[in-house]
């Protein structure tokens, strides 16, 4: 495993981790930033309690939060969406999410805030994804967004090709037994992620994996566990 201790994931590709358990708040998922050359995009937002620290981490990289244009919500669980409202309110970010998780983001229903003891502020979704894939052009980067149901109905992964193929695979590890989860769909989705042959995997909670062989090993390990032989 290649878990990073610094904020830099891949400087050549402009990828940084700016939030997470050890970086912003214990409730936060891993929050990633892609510097697209001019504009920037966040992948996920954390649970909300670490919002200010996420902004501070961005500034510590010498980057201005005002350059952020959008935040992609990989799925509608509180540890990934809690700060969406603040990011949209304070920085004018477009919120991007899949239609099948839209209701939870816009109402809070089923987002799990009660398990964390936090209050979720519902947030509008500005760009609604439908179908198996979509693309977001941001500066020099084309971010490809894939619908990968299994963890939630509207889960998405994000990847792009720079110096290396970087995959934001969201919660590859699952779990896949929560309300709204589907193990059959998860098997198909994990196989799709493995077949991308990414050089770097930015996981939703458990750090950064590289090189390509390690990425495949990690994804296929969770895929095998869903078949009962991992």
The secondary structure of 110-155 as a DSSP string is TS-HHHHT--------SEEE-SSEEEEEETTEEEEEEE-TTSSTT-
- Residues 179-191, mean pLDDT to the nearest whole number: 96
pLDDT tens digits, 190-226: 999 999 999 999 999 999 999 999 999 999 999 999 9
CATH C-level class of 8-226: alpha beta
Please tell me the total number of residues recorded for the chain in this structure.
230
CB 215 within 8 A of CB 41: no
Instruction: Inform me whether the pLDDT recorded for 93 exceeds 50.
Output: yes
- Which residues have CB under 8 Å from 144's CB, separation 6+? 133, 134, 135, 158, 159, 160
- Residues 172-177, mean pLDDT to the nearest whole number: 93
Closest CA to 179 of 85, 81, 75: 75
Closest CA to 138 of 11, 6, 38: 38
Instruction: Inform me whether the pLDDT recorded for 3 exceeds 50.
Output: no
Q: Which of 1-5, 45-49, 79-83 has the lowest mean pLDDT?
A: 1-5
Q: Quickly state the pLDDT bin for 1 (edges 50, 70, 90).
A: very low
Instruction: Inform me whether the pLDDT recorded for 5 exceeds 80.
Output: no
pLDDT of residue 49: 97
Cα–Cα distance measured from residue 112 to residue 79, given in angstroms and rounded to the nearest whole number: 9
| Token pair of 51 as six digits | 């919002």
Cα–Cα distance measured from residue 60 to residue 194, given in angstroms and rounded to the nearest whole number: 33
Cα–Cα distance measured from residue 104 to residue 174, given in angstroms and rounded to the nearest whole number: 18
pLDDT of residue 228: 67
- Residues 143-152, mean pLDDT to the nearest whole number: 98
Query: Per-domain residue ranges for the chain?
Result: 8-226
pLDDT of residue 72: 98
Q: Phi/psi at 178 (nearest 5 deg)?
A: -85, 165
| Token pair of 123 as six digits | 């947030």
Other Cβ atoms within 10 Å of 59 Cβ, number: 12
pLDDT of residue 46: 98
């Amino acid at each position: 495993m290649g878990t990073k201790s610094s904020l830099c994931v891949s400087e050549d590709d402009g990828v940084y981790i700016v939030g997470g358990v050890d970086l912003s708040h214990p409730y936060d998922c891993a929050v990633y930033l892609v510097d697209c050359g001019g504009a920037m995009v966040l992948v996920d937002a954390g649970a909300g309690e670490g919002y200010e620290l996420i902004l501070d981490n961005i500034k510590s990289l010498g980057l201005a939060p005002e350059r952020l244009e959008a935040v992609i919500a990989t799925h509608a669980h509180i540890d990934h969406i809690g700060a969406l409202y603040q990011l949209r309110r304070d920085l004018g970010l477009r919120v991007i999410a899949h239609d099948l998780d839209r209701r939870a983001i816009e109402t809070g229903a089923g987002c799990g805030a009660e398990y964390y003891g936090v209050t979720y502020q519902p947030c509008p979704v500005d760009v609604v994804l439908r179908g198996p894939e979509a693309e977001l052009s941001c500066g020099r980067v084309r971010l490809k967004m894939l619908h990968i149901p299994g963890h939630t109905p509207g889960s998405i992964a994000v990847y792009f090709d720079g110096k290396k193929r970087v995959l934001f695979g969201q919660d590859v590890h699952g779990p896949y037994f929560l309300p709204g989860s589907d193990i059959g769909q998860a098997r198909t989705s994990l196989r799709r992620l493995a077949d991308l042959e990414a050089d770097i995997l930015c996981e939703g909670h458990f750090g950064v994996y590289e090189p390509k062989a390690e990425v495949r090993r990690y994804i296929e390990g969770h895929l095998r566990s869903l078949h009962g032989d991992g």
